[in-house]
Amino acid sequence: MENAYQPELWRDLYVMLGTSSAALVGLLFVVTSFHLDEIINNPAFQLRARYNTIFRLTTLVDAGVILAPQPMIVLGIELIAINLYGLSIPLSNFYQIFYKNRKLAHRGGFSIYRAITFAVAYLIGIAGGAALIEQWHWGLFLVTVSYFTILITVVMNYWSIMLGVGQTEKTTKANRVSPTRTR
């Protein structure tokens, strides 16, 4: 039975990951509220901030279902459902930006690499869920790789949003100072 699914061995890791997801959701709300005007005035930043929050929430739900005592098959089904929902976001964004509104991509700093990273991470999570349904214990390793990839990508994505907001604030301040200095 050494290869059997042993959720107790994953407990501490997923308590830490779930806690970090919950804390990051709260911090993202605080940071967003400090720069609300800039984010509201840029539809791409609005969209990215919203979806980053959803990505964090999917990882929080992942941690919750992994920590819940349940059969491995049920866990696999739940993880597939959560990751399918998460996958729908980058696929929908890709479609919207490349087929509906390309201007939005340029204003918000859309990155095809970021979209691919999210999509691949969710696909890995789906594969992990499928492995758990098949009773393959290593499925949780895939889910964990997916989780960490999403966690890191969201943090980097928020960093790029804050850089964009900072650039906007800097440009706005420079434009306010500039007209008074002309003689």
Let me know if residue 135 belongs to a domain: yes
**Burial class for 140, CB neighbours closer than 10 Å (0-12, 13-18, 19+):** buried
* Per-block mean pLDDT, blocks of 10 residues, the chain (183 long): 62 90 83 75 76 88 93 95 94 74 56 86 96 92 95 83 69 64 50
pTM over 0.85: no
Q: Which domain holds residue 73?
A: 17-176
Let me know if residue 1 belongs to a domain: no
Let me know if residue 115 belongs to a domain: yes
Let me know if residue 80 belongs to a domain: yes
Q: What type of residue sits at position 111? A: S
Let me know if residue 4 belongs to a domain: no
